[in-house]
Amino acid sequence: MHSLIHRSIDSLRRASRRNPEARKLYDWLRRTRSFANTANLSDVEIPYPILCIGTYHKTGTVWLQKTFKRFCQLSRCTFDHLNLDESIAGSRPRRILFDYHSSFSDVDLTDGRGFRMVRDPRDMLVSAVRYHRTSNEGWLHKPGPNGKTYKETINAMSDEDAYLFEIDGSTGKELRRILDFKQTATIKLVHYEDYVTDRNLCKWRDLLEWAGLRSADLILAQQALYEHSLFGMQKKGGHVRSGNSGQWRDKLSDKVLLRLDDRFPNLLREMGYDQSLKASQQHDRS
């Protein structure tokens, strides 16, 4: 029976090349016939009971939230969203704590390991303006002191003015959160650009192994990443626009970059990008 199933799936794979309906079925089978169906997780070591996953606005939040919720479904661990009333109860003694502000309030960070993901602040700025002009998130539609909503205000501006507004608005607040984080030995700072293009999952494997994933858990985490990453099965569309870095080069003027540098001196260096905004801009335009 086992070999018959494999032969049937192989036939479906060949048919999927020319038949859209067969392709849908084959893709569904690939998603559901996971390693989790056969993995024995009872003896997998869990050296740290907590895995912290932190992001900031426009640094891969939706990507990592979906990925690690999926990992918990596969590995039967518990997923807790610290910003929302959202939890997936698992039967194994590991909790994934997800925080899209990377504050981890009231969490003893010595009980586990994890990471917070940051992104080039110039690309954060570009992505934030695009998103805030089109999103239906509730806070964007609440009137401010001038009677206009955030979305109405930013849509009434030119691109340059919108970027300047965003530096003193939502993105500026996120950058301040990034800089104010009290770094610990148990929470690594990682860069979105290094991981969004990690097709062979080499960097991801090293990071997750350091964070305490072992054996079958490590394989299941890589499966979840492949399912929900642009380098894997995730398709662009909806919230997912582009994983490309360096989008700011065609979008941000000198005035915007100087405002960013004025508000946050040495920002890139403090975020681990090892260059100042002014020096980077001069180099890019030379």
151-160, 235-244, 275-284: the lowest-pLDDT one = 275-284
Q: What is the pLDDT of residue 47?
A: 94
Tell me the CB-side half-sphere exposure of residue 173, using CA atoms within 13 A: 7
Question: Above pLDDT 90, what percent of the chain?
Answer: 65
Taking the alpha carbons at both ends of the chain, their separation in whole angstroms is 66
Is residue 24 very low, low, confident or very high in pLDDT (cuts 50, 70, 90)?
low
- The predicted pLDDT at position 144 comes to 87
Mean pLDDT, residues 225-236: 81
User: pLDDT > 70: what percent of the chain?
Assistant: 79
In this structure, what token pair is assigned to residue 91? 């039967």
Q: Is the pLDDT of residue 17 over 90?
A: no
- d(C-alpha 76, C-alpha 41), whole Å: 9
Q: Which amino acid is at 40?
A: N
CB 186 within 8 A of CB 275: no
pLDDT for res 162 = 98
Q: Is the pLDDT of residue 236 over 70?
A: no
Q: Report whether pLDDT(274) > 90.
A: no
pTM, two decimal places: 0.81
Pairing of strands 95-99, 112-118: unpaired
> Exposure string (b/e) for 241-255, b if CB count within 10 Å is 16 or more?
eebebebbeebbeee
Per-residue HEC secondary structure of the chain comes to: CHHHHHHHHHHHHHHCCCCHHHHHHHHHHHHHCCHHHCCCCCCCCCCCCEEEEECCCCCCHHHHHHHHHHHHHHHCCEEEECCCCEEECCCCCCEEEEECCCCCCCCCHHHEEEEEEECCHHHHHHHHHHHHHHCCCHHHHCECCCCCEHHHHHHCCCHHHHHHHHHCCHHHHHHHHHHHCCCCCCEEEEEHHHHCCCCCCHHHHHHHHHCCCCHHHHHHHHHHHHHHCCCCCCCCECCECCCCCCHHHHCCCHHHHHHHHHHCCCHHHHCCCCCCHHHHHHHHHC
Residues facing residue 98 across a β-bridge: 53, 81
In the structure encoding, which two tokens stand for residue 155, read together? 């849509």
CA distance linking residue 262 with residue 240, whole number of Å = 31
